[in-house]
Structure 1
Amino acid sequence: MRNVLKTTLLATVFSAVLWGGQSAEAATYSEAEKLVRQAEGYATTLKWDLSVEHTKVVKYPDMKLFNTTKEYKKKAETAVSTLPLSQQATLNDRLKKNVKVYIDRGVAYIDAITAGEKIEQQQMILNTHINSGDLEKLENTYHILSEEIRKQAILLYRVYGQSTRDAILAKYKAPAESLKSGVKHEVTSSMILDDVQALELPDGVSSPDVPVMVNEYRSYDAFINYPTLKAALNNKYNATMEKIVLPQNKMKDLITEVAIENGIPPEILKAIAYQESGNTLKFQQFKNNGEPIISSDNGIGIMQITNHPTAVVEDLKYDTRYNIEIGAKLLKEKWSWTGDLLPRINDGDPDVLENWYFAVLAYNGRSSINHPTNSGNYQNKIFEFIRSSSQVKVFNFNNLVYDISVNNGILDFTPKLQYETNIQNKTTQIYKAGQTLKITTSTKFRPEPNTIVKEKYTLAAGNEVQILEKGISDATGINHFVFYKVKVNSTGDIGYVFSGAFAK
């Protein structure tokens, strides 16, 4: 009886639930659907927060809203997953179409802004180096920014919606690209100079590649936009090219060095180099772009070497020291002719400037145009440079009486192979540290080795000085003398005097 009553009671309860209320499955579905609706509501709000057309600004979305939407999507998915399979499809489809799509768009939007901020950061760093004029850091940051744009652009383009995507690109990619474009010529110019430096050429040496690169560098001059970078590029260019196209002081010091090595008075070799390298490019092996100077008659470089039987032509063109050395050897060869093909002057002492007169003539050629009595002959020009630029009162060779024959336009000196001059000046540019010398003519005692600074005082003739350092040249092309750092023995004063102070 009890069992029958129990069975009846259960049946009644079941019937009441089935027909008078909701089943357990129906109650679960309702809860799941409610969560789906809530997720859809948050997703709809998120949708508008991801639209620049709606927000009017590119910014991170409301992250609380974004995370809440993800949270309710997850809750809804969990609830839906407990339903019978037949009931899941519709709700999952709603979650996919109405919720997941906006979460995915939110992820893409957040990723795009994060990517854009990385681009902005590199853009700011690049601007810093533009303002500072730091070319090395500029190049490096330029390439980092280029790579950042390339890498992050993938994320920028993933943003949903044309207007939103365009707004993000306009905020992050366009300014970075514009900055890059605005500075590309500066970066390219700096990289060209890097390429020149990478050749690792010795001082005073160029190559066929150098003028090509320098001309390309100069082609960008008109496109340099930033004054800080223009100044930095000029400094970098000058530093790069001064190792190739040596400045006047280094050229004169190099000629002096080669002259001494070859037993030639530096005054002689410098005057020849000054004459040979032309009226506008004094003491130059190269044009300003590193291209070798070659005359219309194929004279090469500073010493204008032509048709040398053993010299390497490419080295004559691109190696300053080599060109000077070949010129010095040619002059020494002409010197060796004295007493045979050329007259000897005085006792033939190679330290005496006047004794090189006929060797200098032969350096240019024994053509009749260089006859000593002809006005404006080559050797007289050279000795005039010595007189004016080395400031040595050399003998005036117009005062000699010559006995020279001319055969087929070539000078024949054999009728008389000995001449004397009543003035004989020894070179004053070969003194070494430690030597003690007497000032022969009053001279300016200077605090620096140039004629620009005002002298300390005038040092009278007869004063003895000790040479402290070898002679050095100043930066003025017209000055062929050297400056010696000296100590005045009588006072202990230290300063500079020019080599002409020791001339006799």
Structure 2
Amino acid sequence: MSSKRMKHMMITSLIVATGITMLAPSNASAAQTANSLVEKAVNAGTVLKWSISIEGSGDGKIRPWAQYNAAKDAYSKAKIAVDKLPTDQKQVLTAQLEEKSLLHINRAMAYIDAITAGEKINGKKAALQAKKDLNMLDAETVKAYHELSTEIRKQAILLDRVYGQSTRDLIRDNYKKTAETLRNEMMHPVSIKISLDDAETKLDPTKISEVLSLLESSRALAPMVTNELLFQQLSSQYTRIANYVQSVTGQVVPGLYKKVELTIPEIKQTLTLEAIKRGIPPEVLKSIAAAENSALKQFNADGTPYMSWDGGIGIMQVTLGPTDNSYDRERLKWDTVYNIQAGADILLGKWNYGGKRTPTVNDNDKGTIENWYFAIMAYNGLSKKNDPSIAGNNPYQLKVFGLMDRYAGVRPEIIPGSEVLTTYVDNRMLFTNKMNYITTIKTKSTQMYVAGDQVVLSGNANLRIEPRTGVAYTVLPATTTVTILEGPFQDSNFVNLFSWYKVRVNDTGAEGYIASLNLQ
């Protein structure tokens, strides 16, 4: 190699080496600055993260603008610095920024947007709430209802974008849930109002069928109206329209009815008192209700009417044929008292079969529980499944008698199945071969006492301080005489088919409560 070329290479190498030495401090400073800015952005992102979380300071109502703007500003500065770095350094720091800063900024934006969306829902909710607070059901109420419903649907997507299940639920609870509650409360009154307003525009003899259809749809929704004043307004409008229909057609249109929901004590008391009104031993009607519906429920957990697979309705499982209009079907579903009354009337109708379609028992006195054997059978149906003479059968009436024994505390005598003589026509039981049966025991109800009645206890009884089990008591020996003061009362246990009476012990003057099953 020539000395000239060697000299050129040495000079070039020196220049390159010198350049590296001169550039290195500048690169190091840029990287240091970028790292520092990334660290600030990450810290600001962390602060923002906790400001939009229920586990932090987030409440789902206040927008964390200060934290959001600080994080966004820190991210922007860091991003500018990072973008100037060499590719390998840039990739590492960019990943940190996206994961620990930009991610929280985007989530915060969704959180802030959700609050904005929620406030829009709140605005529409306030308008409808104002009408509800005034108990007003007019065109403006209908408009406010529709606007709220639309706003809930429109803003729901923004509410659902919030990160984190607990925080998202908080946002929903603050806005969507409360709005939906109000909307649902007003849904049925508004729907009925729309139908009735439509019906009033059709009050013409040529459009009666349309009016009747609108009235029917209104009646079906009426039980879901829980606001008494709104119900009265709707009922007044409904009655005006129904009166017009009657004036044109002579047809009587049933009125609106409300949902009647009772507690377990109220259900048992209604069963007891409706039975007494009809001369039915309460043990019989209550045990039939328990046989039909072991939990004594009229409604399911979601508030809808309790219906069986075969169309039985409510507590008494009243079943109507396709053309049977003897009872109002919708009211049977929604009115607990009406359902019980219908069941009691049906049972009484079956009692009246005695001596005609079914045999009588003993002297056919209503006050004797044994005498209800065939009426109880007929309540469920005079079919082969209830024929006690067929081996392997578990007839309905035996189930009811078993419930009386187990839960009402009376033990009526059961007619032996081998003695029940039946024939069949079209699979329906007939009893023409024997129309009267005699029992050796004649059990009386223990739930039909009235104030002033004197009862001699046939066995030991617990005199309790309240009309329920699980409270303090003293034991009264057999042959003690007590005076009925008040009752009957019912406790909250649906299994207990007996009643309670307040009594005074004649010998000592002590007062307390005795279960009816001890009053025999």
TM-score range relative to shorter protein: 0.5 to 0.7
Which of 166, 169, 183 aligns to 2:174? It is 183
CA deviation map 1:72-118 (0-9, x unaligned): xxxxxxxxxxxxxxxxxxxxxxxxxxxxxxxxxxxxxxxxxxxxxxx
Are positions 1:420 and 2:438 aligned together?
yes
Question: Are the counterparts in 2 of residues 464 and 489 from structure 1 also a CA contact under 8 Å?
Answer: yes
Which of 317, 320, 331 aligns to 1:304? It is 317
Q: State the 1:246 CA deviation.
A: 2.1
Name 2:241's counterpart in structure 1: none
CA distance in 2: counterparts of 1:309 and 1:181, whole angstroms = 46
Name 1:451's counterpart in structure 2: 469
Q: How does 1:97-496 map to 2 (within 5 A)?
A: 183-184=174-175, 187-188=178-179, 191=182, 208=221, 244-277=260-293, 279=294, 282-307=295-320, 308-374=324-390, 375-398=393-416, 401-454=419-472, 456-496=473-513
RMSD over equivalenced CA pairs, Å: 3.5
CA distance in 1: counterparts of 2:289 and 2:318, whole angstroms = 11
Question: Are the counterparts in 1 of residues 260 and 337 from structure 2 also a CA contact under 8 Å?
Answer: no
Question: Are the counterparts in 2 of residues 437 and 464 from structure 1 also a CA contact under 8 Å?
Answer: yes
Q: Name structure 1 gaps, 5 residues minimum.
A: 1-51, 57-135, 141-177, 200-205, 214-242
Q: Name structure 2 gaps, 5 residues minimum.
A: 1-64, 70-128, 134-168, 191-218, 227-258
Question: Are the counterparts in 2 of residues 211 and 289 from structure 1 also a CA contact under 8 Å?
Answer: no
Q: What secondary structure is seen at the aligned counterpart in 1 of 2:475?
A: strand
Q: State the 1:484 CA deviation.
A: 0.5
Distance change in 2, residues 1:196/1:438 (3 Å) = farther
Q: State the 1:434 CA deviation.
A: 2.3
Distance change in 2, residues 1:482/1:290 (3 Å) = same
**Could you state the TM-score of these two structures normalised by the residue count of structure 1?**
0.53
CA distance in 2: counterparts of 1:364 and 1:182, whole angstroms = 48
CA distance in 2: counterparts of 1:197 and 1:500, whole angstroms = 45
CA distance in 1: counterparts of 2:225 and 2:378, whole angstroms = 37
Q: Kindly name which structure, 1 or 2, has the bigger radius of gyration based on alpha carbons.
A: 1
Question: Are the counterparts in 1 of residues 388 and 417 from structure 2 also a CA contact under 8 Å?
Answer: no
Q: What secondary structure is seen at the aligned counterpart in 2 of 1:328?
A: helix
CA distance in 2: counterparts of 1:372 and 1:413, whole angstroms = 13
Q: State the 1:197 CA deviation.
A: 12
The AA in structure 2 aligned to 1:370 is: N
Question: Are the counterparts in 2 of residues 245 and 284 from structure 1 also a CA contact under 8 Å?
Answer: no
**Could you state the TM-score of these two structures normalised by the residue count of structure 2?**
0.52
CA distance in 1: counterparts of 2:188 and 2:296, whole angstroms = 23
Q: State the 1:193 CA deviation.
A: 8.3
CA distance in 2: counterparts of 1:269 and 1:329, whole angstroms = 10
Question: Are the counterparts in 2 of residues 210 and 290 from structure 1 also a CA contact under 8 Å?
Answer: no
Question: Are the counterparts in 1 of residues 389 and 421 from structure 2 also a CA contact under 8 Å?
Answer: no
Q: What secondary structure is seen at the aligned counterpart in 1 of 2:416?
A: helix
Q: State the 1:186 CA deviation.
A: 6.0
Name 1:31's counterpart in structure 2: none
Question: Are the counterparts in 2 of residues 244 and 290 from structure 1 also a CA contact under 8 Å?
Answer: no
Question: Are the counterparts in 1 of residues 467 and 513 from structure 2 also a CA contact under 8 Å?
Answer: yes
Q: State the 1:422 CA deviation.
A: 0.8
Distance change in 2, residues 1:467/1:339 (3 Å) = same
CA distance in 2: counterparts of 1:192 and 1:450, whole angstroms = 41
Q: How does 1:37-52 map to 2 (within 5 A)?
A: none
Q: State the 1:407 CA deviation.
A: 2.8
Distance change in 2, residues 1:309/1:372 (3 Å) = farther
Q: State the 1:247 CA deviation.
A: 2.2
Q: What secondary structure is seen at the aligned counterpart in 1 of 2:488?
A: coil
